Structure 1
Amino acid sequence: MGKPLNVGIVGCGKIVEQYLTNFRRLDSIDLVAVADLDPARAQAVADSYEGVRALTVDGLLEANDVDLVLNLTIPAAHADIALKAIAAGKSVYGEKPLAATTEEARQVLDAAKSAGVVVGCAPDTVLGTGIQTARKAIDDDLIGAPISATATMATPGHERWHPNPDFYYQPGGGPLLDMGPYYVSALVTLLGPVVSVVGAASHTRNERTIGSGPREGQKVPVEIDSHVTGVLVHASGALSTLFMSFDAVKTKSSNIEIHGEKGSLAVPDPNHFNGDVQLFALGAEDWETIPASAGYVDSGRGFGIADLAATPAGEEPRAGGELAFHALEVMESVLESARTGQAVSIKSTARRPSAVPLTELATTVRA
């Protein structure tokens, strides 16, 4: 009925600043409370944002004025916090992935369905003008029937810049589970759900050296495969190839490319909300930049919650639990295929989320 959605945040780590910046702009969201296992971190956030109070985690989950819990905890805690929030009758929006495993993620979705609350999940980058303009180009038949896609993420490792990179190299981490949600969610948004996968993976180093911060020079053990490749078979028949690496130094490839019978698209980084979409049409002499024609303009982390707030009751949000679960199963299955050497069928599906028209949300800069 036009009333802003009251949000409480659990987890006040590095990522929270991006949400705070956008919550200050979004008229449809009121941030009312924050919590963290470190009370000082929660208090620092509360002190920086007018009208927000710092609570314990249990206190926030029990607060009557919190409609939705934004879960910014580490991946291992995603399911636990989500289930507690749902048990308290609150909707949940989580950072990616939805949970550490599909088994835990299924518990979250089943609990939410029983409780009649809504589950949303990052990444909401797929709602920005970059991915949505590419999606509109496909829907407008600019490349004809999609045949294939490539998704490429190459970095020598997050330990070069992250002061506490340990979890990236522990079970539940790695390049696919860390960055894959952006790429797989984008591929499903562009090309539809996945029905089977084949994967392979490698492990090049047993330890990494922290490159910045108070722990600079310390060694971190590597317990996971740090380079993963996979082929995704979409229900449409299109084939997507994933290249996710914490070992490669750099790439000149587009983050995502979509190839069809009438043309090819270069799609911007799915970890960002905007960026140029380029088309090379059959018979053309060069790439053409397509003006932004769909998606939330000037968006950022948190716009997925605004989109959820505007979703009619009973409908699945665009950045919803269904898509997040499907993306998690795809990634989990790529890793399973890499272990077994066998193709893996995907049991879940996700409807291709509805397109986002070119939209400027109502914004007001707040203290």
Structure 2
Amino acid sequence: MSTPRTKIGVIGCGNISGIYLQADKTFEAIETVACSDLLMDRAREKAAEHSIPRACTVQELLADPEIEIVVNLTIPKAHAEVAMAAVEAGKSVYNEKPLTLTREEGHRLLQAAQARGVRVGCAPDTFLGGGLQTCRKLIDDGWIGEPVGATAFMVCPGHESWHPSPDFYYQLGGGPMFDMGPYYLTALISLMGPLKRIAGIARITYPERTITSQPLYGTVIHVNTPTHVAGTMEFASGAIGTIVTSFDVHASELPRIEIYGSQGALSVPDPNGFGGPVRVRRAGAKEWSEVPLTHGYSVNSRGIGVA
């Protein structure tokens, strides 16, 4: 007898929703039965596109007794409010990152979930993919010895040249550290262990940015969150890491992530993906060697964290 699939409802039908709305075609444990958005036309469009049985209001979705998990894909500043509403409705919730905008909101959400007996999860889930899981195995198996340091760089020119509605990337809850930093920090902590202390500096480099994508071409964005962030981390193991995230860099040849060990170095694939090349250069070697992936889910598998 097959195990019943867990019913999920998706709130927020924006740019990222497509991959989540088709997750139940990859993972047999879940079934998407409803989607919702403040713009009902957008919810109906996504429901039709991905064969979701029902497009409905947020209130209707939260009141549906068959939905056990809410996937919260709203904009960052709405994450806490929507997640709390889901918890109060007796449903587990999986947020896109960030979990909330402040630690206080996060603590309140977790406390409410514990009181209600439901669970809270959060993206990114890319560390469960084949690329980063292979890196985890190589470190565990001693390929580079004891990890002593790491670097991570996520630098790009920002999103106003391609995203159809990029303003929120430059408001509270946006910026490179909140938008892309979670992929890199999650990868680092997964590979290097917990952090002991951190320090950093950040700035708003350009107070205004002009959208060059459609349909808002020419619109000026007033920036209200740092767009260049540099940080230093000390891991509980004693290893030291450096991270830079920026929307102010037009071009770069910096690696995504590298882990440095006592017996070699590990080149980690893009943590915003699930696969990618994994390369190792062990002590004494003259060149980097690519290592075949040892784990599955190497293509876009967003939703694995929900499943």
TM-score bin, normalised by smaller chain: over 0.9
Correspondence 1:254-273 to 2 at 5 A: 254-273=255-274
Amino acid paired to 1:239? I
Aligned residue for 2:75?
A: 74
Give the match for residue 216 of structure 2: 215
SS of 2:142 mapped into structure 1: coil
Q: Distance in 2 between matches of 1:226 and 1:21?
A: 32
Greater displacement, 296-305 / 130-139: 296-305
Does the aligned pair in 1 maintain the 2:152–2:258 contact within 8 Å? yes
Distance 1:218 1:18, change over 3 A: same
CA distance in 2, matches of 1:212, 1:299: 25
| Residue 159 of structure 1 pairs with residue 163 of structure 2 | no
Residue 51 of structure 1, CA deviation: 5.1
Deviations 1:220-277 (A, max 9, x none): 1122221110001111111110010111122212200000010000001000111011
Task: Quote the residue 1:310 is aligned against.
Answer: none
Q: Letter of the aligned partner of 2:137 in structure 1? A: K
Which residue is equivalent to 1:170?
171
Equivalent residue letter for 2:109: V
The yes-or-no answer on 1:275 pairing with 2:265 is no
Name the residue aligned to 1:196: 197
Q: Render the CA deviation track for 1:312-362: whole Å, top value 9, x for unaligned.
A: xxxxxxxxxxxxxxxxxxxxxxxxxxxxxxxxxxxxxxxxxxxxxxxxxxx
Indicate conservation of the 8 Å contact 2:273/2:300, yes or no: no
- What amino acid sits opposite 1:129 in the alignment? G
- Measured after TM superposition, the shift of residue 297 of structure 1 is 4.3
Name whichever of 41-50 and 177-186 sits farther off: 41-50
Provide the secondary structure at the position in 1 that maps to 2:22: helix
Amino acid at match of 1:28: A
Secondary structure class of the residue paired with 2:231: strand
Aligned to 1:55: 56
Contact 1:79 1:100 in 2 (8 A): yes
Q: Deviations over 1:143-177 (max 9, x none)?
A: 11101000101101111111221111122221111
Structure 1 position 52, deviation (Å): 1.5
Query: Relative CO higher for 1 or 2, CA cutoff 8 Å, sep ≥ 6?
Result: 1
> Paired residue for 1:129?
130
1:158 maps to amino acid: H
| Residue 64 of structure 1, CA deviation | 0.8
Q: In structure 2, how many angstroms separate the alpha carbons of the residues matched to 1:94 and 1:173? A: 15
Spell out, residue by residue over 1:267-304, the C-alpha distance to the aligned partner (whole angstroms, 9 max, x if none).
01000111011000000110011110135344511111
Q: Does 1:24 align with 2:45?
A: no
Q: For the residues of structure 1 that align with 2:44 and 2:120, how far apart are their CA atoms? A: 27
List runs of 5+ in structure 1 lacking aligned partners: 307-367
Task: Give the conservation status (yes or no) of the 8 Å contact 1:136–1:294.
Answer: no
8 Å Cα contact 1:129/1:296 also seen in 2: yes
Contact 2:22 2:50 in 1 (8 A): no
Letter in 1 for 2:108: Q
Distance 1:79 1:255 in 2: 30
Alignment of structure 1 residues 89-104 onto 2, 5 Å = 89-104=90-105
Q: Which moved more, 1:160-169 or 1:106-115?
A: 160-169
Q: 2:305 maps to what in 1? A: 304
1:309 is matched with which residue?
Answer: none
Q: Counterpart of 1:137 in structure 2: which amino acid?
A: L
Q: Report the counterpart of residue 42 of structure 1 in structure 2.
A: 43
Distance in 1 of aligned mates of 2:176 and 2:209: 14
Match of 1:244 in 2: 245
Contact 1:86–1:117 under 8 Å retained in 2: yes
Aligned partner of residue 78 in structure 1, secondary structure: helix
Distance 1:49 1:167 in 2: 26
- Structure 2: distance between partners of 1:148 and 1:165: 34
The one-letter code sitting in structure 2 at the alignment partner of 1:5 is T
RMSD between superposed Cα atoms in Å:
1.3
Show structure 2 runs of 5+ residues with no match: none
Which range moved further: 292-301 or 226-235?
Answer: 292-301
Post-superposition CA distance 1:190-214 (Å, at most 9, x none): 1111111110123321211101112
TM-score (norm 1): 0.81
Please tell me the residue identity of whatever aligns with 1:78.
H
What is the one-letter code of the residue matched to 1:305? Answer: V
Matched residue of 1:303: which SS? coil
Q: Sort the Cα spacing of 1:213 and 1:228 in 2 relative to 1 into closer, same or farther, 3 A.
A: same
> 2:109 — aligned with what?
108
- 2: distance between equivalents of 1:305 and 1:77? 19
Alpha-carbon distance between aligned partners in 2 of 1:224 and 1:238, rounded to the nearest angstrom: 30
The answer on whether the counterparts of 2:131 and 2:298 sit within 8 Å (CA) in structure 1 is no
Give the match for residue 224 of structure 1.
Answer: 225
Cα gap change, 1:299/1:173 in structure 2, threshold over 3 Å: closer, same or farther? closer
Distance (Å, rounded) in 1 between the aligned partners of 2:99 and 2:268: 25
TM-score under structure 2 length normalisation: 0.96
How far apart in 2 are the matches of 1:21 and 1:86? 24
When structure 1 is superposed on structure 2, of 166-175 and 253-262 the one drifting more is: 166-175
Whether the aligned pair in 2 keeps the contact of 1:163 and 1:216 (CA below 8 Å) is no
Q: In structure 1, what residue type is equivalent to 2:65?
A: N
Judging changes above 3 Å, is the alpha-carbon distance between structure 1 residues 178 and 299 closer, same or farther for their aligned structure 2 residues?
A: closer
Give the secondary-structure state (helix, strand or coil) at the position aligned to 1:198: strand
